[in-house]
Structure 1
Amino acid sequence: MNAPSTRVQRRPVHGVLLLDKPLDLSSNNALQRCKWLLRAEKAGHTGTLDPLATGVLPLCFGAATKFSQLQLDADKTYEAVARLGFKTTTGDAEGEVIATRPVSVTDAQLAAVQRQFTGPLRQVPPMHSALKKDGKALYEYARAGEEVEREARDLTVHELTLERMQDPRAEHAIRMVAKVSKGTYIRTLAEDIGEALGCGAHLISLRRIATGHYRVDQCVTLPALEAMSEQERLACLLPVDSLLPQHTAVTLDADNAGRFLSGLRRRGVWNDDEQVAVYGTDPPALLGTGHIRAGELIPGRLLSPPEIQQILETTT
């Protein structure tokens, strides 16, 4: 499902595409496919999903790439199924089984473990991950049969639901729904929960159902996108400022907007604010982001005049 090699005429495209990433496709391949379908000049994703995971993958095009870090830092919500009683080398169904244990889990145990794993936690990243040590990805060490020391990282599981379920792939399985802070490995969370239950566990499916304020029911699938006309695909794009829902809106007149876009600080009667989305009035358009300190609006990430003009031309 790689992007076709056919040469296409690229063009400026600005906005956010919410893709429901399919199974067995890397995040980068999904991005390249959508970039080709939209004939976009510039694109980037907002954090990878494993090929074995599906769900919300926000793709940023053009000016939206300037704010993609905000989605990298956002909380994520996942729905997963863990098979109990089996531990694998990778923490998921791709790995080899390295331990089996009998399963005897009560509802009371499950409720206690749910409480145990809700809130601030420390987690050791898995060896089968793209994190780097001494310039080399951990999965490269793992493939060579080496295990290296990893530092535990602080994270937060904001919400967690665990419930027993029937699944044709496993005699004993639990459904997990977890809202977590960035950098959380759900595979490792499932393994740790399995250990706390005394039987071990590994993931057999993983689906991201939300990232920040973006939800899976807002997403478009790749087959649906491929079946659309070019205009229908462009209509799927959310505006650039959909990436800025927590930002306070500040509007500048034409003179101050021009100076702000030149990187100059502006003075006004504003309260201190670390997250500000700045708009112009003539024409009405997003100019960029900044922050306010002691009555000064200080520029952060700015759109270029050509980007602003291109966005206006596609929305009028």
Structure 2
Amino acid sequence: MGRRGKKKGRPVAGWLILDKPWDFGSTEAVGKIRWLFKADKAGHAGTLDPLASGMLPIALGDATKTVPYVMDGNKVYRFTATWGEERTTDDLEGEVSGTSDKRPTRAEIEAVIPDYMGVIEQVPPRFSAVKIGGERAYDIARDGEEVEIPSREVEIHRFDIVDCPDEKTTVFEVECGKGTYVRALARDIGRQLGCLGHVSELRRVAVEPFSEAQLVPLETLTALEEIEDQDERLAALDEYLIDIGEALSMLPRLEVSSDQAQRIRMGNPVIVRGRDAPIACDEICAFQAGRLVALGEVAGGEFHPRRVFSSAGQ
């Protein structure tokens, strides 16, 4: 009999709402957090470009099972559009691909914002992670090839002008659904107004269901590396983790007993009792004493688990 492989990390579980610094990749950030927490697995809920800062929710351990729910949540971005130049990447990283002497007034910008509200058609930037024929668009673009990206529907819930510090720049805040490219908004508004434009600063301030108040700066975490005792250091880091269940706050909740929780974790259904118990529900969370037990459905008076969560961790 072969020997079992050594575990790569500890089974810590929970969400860390990282305030990702500028010029730091999302994959790099996940790797850093996984290393700091000595976690056995980690993932993030929505890539942030290296030139963007702000909220990058990172899931550790069992929290990775809830990543799709956070990915589907609304996002809030605050960004600065610089007028007069269009760039190949639609942000500061790219080369200048077009210029204009026109500078839009606030009234002109306000007049076109309604065109970008609700469900709209948007063509993602050439330098984006969208797949074209199995390849990432940015890989095709970096090879110098022309890439035709089809438009797709995205949803904009809120689009506000925050400030107009000068004629060349406008600061916006936008709340949008999954798959929206803020860079494309600046590009398209610039083209519509004839002034051309690109994003010169971008920050994600919220990812539903998390809020800006939950952000943890990377330097706050790396400062704890000075604690020599590993157990003490890891305990200090774990204080910044958010319970897995918070990622599922948009779903209905079912309280179960400790005996029921044990049955559920073994993959078995349990009878749902009580005057307010749901008769049927396609997607519901089972909790026991405030801890997430499983995701599942209620049918025929029973809770049937689909995804079970360990009793360990956050």
Which secondary structure does the structure 1 equivalent of 2:304 belong to? strand
Q: For 2:32, give the aligned amino acid.
A: R
Which secondary structure does the structure 1 equivalent of 2:168 belong to? strand
Taking the aligned partners of 1:10 and 1:163, their CA distance within structure 2 comes to 44
Q: Which structure 2 residue ranges, 5 or more long, are not aligned?
A: 1-6, 228-232
Show the counterpart of 2:247: 243
The Cα of 1:232 is off from its aligned counterpart by 2.1
Structure 1, residues 145-200: CA drift from partner, whole Å, max 9, x if none?
Answer: 22222221111000001255226xxx601111010101001101110111122211
Percentage of identical aligned residues = 36
Which secondary structure does the structure 1 equivalent of 2:128 belong to? coil
The Cα of 1:10 is off from its aligned counterpart by 3.0
> Contact 1:21–1:55 at 8 Å: present in 2 too?
yes
Q: Which structure 1 residue ranges, 5 or more long, are not aligned?
A: 1-7
1:279 aligns to 2:275 (yes or no): no
Show the counterpart of 1:292: 298
Which secondary structure does the structure 2 equivalent of 1:50 belong to? coil
9 and 298 in structure 1: CA distance in 2 versus 1, 3 angstrom threshold: closer
Taking the aligned partners of 2:96 and 2:304, their CA distance within structure 1 comes to 55
> Contact 1:290–1:301 at 8 Å: present in 2 too?
yes
Taking the aligned partners of 2:163 and 2:36, their CA distance within structure 1 comes to 41
Structure 1 length normalisation: TM-score? 0.88
Show the counterpart of 1:106: 105
Taking the aligned partners of 1:93 and 1:85, their CA distance within structure 2 comes to 13
> Contact 1:14–1:64 at 8 Å: present in 2 too?
yes
Which secondary structure does the structure 2 equivalent of 1:68 belong to? helix
Taking the aligned partners of 1:289 and 1:211, their CA distance within structure 2 comes to 21
The Cα of 1:263 is off from its aligned counterpart by 2.5
1:217 aligns to 2:217 (yes or no): no
1:265 aligns to 2:269 (yes or no): yes
What value does the CA root-mean-square deviation take over the aligned residues?
A: 2.0
Taking the aligned partners of 1:257 and 1:12, their CA distance within structure 2 comes to 19
Show the counterpart of 2:3: none
Show the counterpart of 1:127: 126
> Contact 1:55–1:207 at 8 Å: present in 2 too?
yes
Deviates more, 1:201-210 or 1:290-299: 290-299
Q: For 2:262, give the aligned amino acid.
A: G
1:1-316 alignment, distance < 5 Å: 10-166=9-165, 172-228=168-224, 229=227, 230=233, 231-268=235-272, 269-280=277-288, 285-303=291-309, 307-308=310-311, 310-311=312-313
**Across the two proteins, how many residue pairs are aligned to each other?**
296
> Contact 1:114–1:162 at 8 Å: present in 2 too?
no
Taking the aligned partners of 2:214 and 2:265, their CA distance within structure 1 comes to 32
